[in-house]
Structure 1
């Protein structure tokens, strides 16, 4: 065989090999490569979607945290205002009760002072009557009268 014949036979074998490869070998390889590329594309799309969902979730979490902080601050302020109102109300009630107690004590002290004055008046009247009786029983004498009046003064 000549080199040309060998070359032609090699070309025919090569073309048969290329045809066989393109018909039976290349489609499964191309399909596997396309499937792999599709899986990679799906993975990248899922990663992008997950990244955007994560970002949105982080924004929602931050918004809810801010809202929770605002609500807790508002509740704390409301509780402080309520506590202050309760303290003021208790102070007002205590002042009112104190005023009532002081007024009752004043009334009672006035009543006791009146009772003491009345008792003193009765005692003074009794002493005056007693002194008058003693003066009238004794003889009319200025020295004796002065002595009796001095005793009355000391008793008062």
Structure 2
């Protein structure tokens, strides 16, 4: 065989193989590579989108946490103010109640003192009459001398 014929046959076989490869083998490989590249690009885009969504969600969570902390601080401050006002109100009521009790006790003590004075006057009057009776050695009638005894009570 001739070198030219072999070379020519190899060129023809190469061209047929090249045509067959370009017509039937290369398009599915290219299509698969393009699909794979598209999937990778979609995955990267989804990952970037997820990163943005995650950072936005983290930002929203931080804002909500800050707002919740602020609200909790306000509620605690309000509760402390309310507790303080309740304590102050209770102290005020206790002071008022103590003042009432003291006033009642003073009034009761004054009343008892007046009663004790009256009882003491009665006893002094009785003792004075008994003393006068013994001095005079005769009986003094209390009903007869009521006016005298009343004057004696008022003077004491």
- TM-score range with shorter-chain normalisation? 0.7 to 0.9
1:135-154 equivalences in 2 (<5 Å):
135-137=135-137
Matched with 1:67 is 67
Say whether 1:21 aligns with 2:21: yes
In 2, Cα distance between the equivalents of 1:122 and 1:111?
A: 17
Ranges in structure 2 where 5+ consecutive residues have no aligned partner: 139-156
Tell me the equivalent position of 2:120.
120
**Worse overlay, 71-80 or 22-31:** 71-80
The whole-number CA distance in structure 2 between the counterparts of 1:4 and 1:130 is: 178
Query: What is the CA–CA distance in structure 2 between the aligned matches of 1:111 and 1:22, rounded to whole Å?
Result: 128
Q: CA deviation at 1:61?
A: 0.8
How high is the TM-score relative to the length of structure 1?
0.84
The CA deviation at 1:39 is 0.5
Report the RMSD for the aligned CA atoms in angstroms: 1.2
Q: Distance in 1 between matches of 2:17 and 2:130?
A: 162
State the Cα deviation string for residues 120-153 of structure 1 (Å, max 9, x = none): 1111122222222222238xxxxxxxxxxxxxxx
What per-residue deviation string (whole Å, max 9, x for no partner) do you get for residues 10-56 of structure 1?
11111111111101110000000000000000110111111111111
Residues 64-99 of structure 1 deviation map (CA, whole Å, 9 limit, x = unaligned) = 111111111111111111111111111111111111
1:110 aligned partner: 110
Q: Which 4+ runs in 1 deviate beyond 3 A?
A: none
Unaligned runs of 5+ in 1: 139-156
Q: TM-score, normalised by structure 2?
A: 0.84
Equivalenced residue count is 138
Residue in 2 aligned with 1:32? 32
Q: CA deviation at 1:108?
A: 0.2
Q: Which moves more between the two structures, 58-67 or 3-12?
A: 3-12
5 Å matches for 1:93-108?
A: 93-108=93-108
Distance 2:120 2:27 in 1: 135
Looking at structure 1, the residues matched to 82 and 125 of structure 2 have their Cα atoms a distance apart, in angstroms, of 63
The residue number in structure 1 matching 2:153 is: none
